[in-house]
Amino acid sequence: MSEEKTHIVPYKTQVIVLFVLLILTGITVAVTRLEFGALNTLIAMLVAGIKATIVLAWYMHLKYEKRLLPMLVAGVVILFLLVLFVTFFDYSYR
């Protein structure tokens, strides 16, 4: 049997999280209509990153877990960014 009490996320919190996510979605779509050049993609990825963090923290309960899981997730994100960096490093000097 599980020995410890699991944290119950209130319905209200989940509704608030949804509204924040929907607002951020609205922002991404709206920003597309403005002209920022290369910045557009950067802004879109920044907003997507914030949305992803919110989903990970609240819906995927990382906020309420022990430290191990958030650290592992951060590790995977860093690994991905490293692969992206190394790949571009390779392609830029061909």
Which residues of this chain interact with another protein, rule CB under 8 A?
1-2, 6, 8-11, 14-15, 17-18, 21-22, 25, 28-29, 32, 35-36, 40-41, 44-45, 47-48, 51-52, 55-56, 58-61, 68-69, 72-73, 76, 79-80, 83-84, 87-88, 91
Helix (H, G, I), strand (E, B) or coil at 7: coil
35: left (phi over 0), alpha (psi -120 to 50) or beta: beta
* φ, ψ dihedrals at 26, nearest 5°: -60, -40
- The least distance separating another protein from the CB of residue 93, rounded to whole angstroms, comes to 13
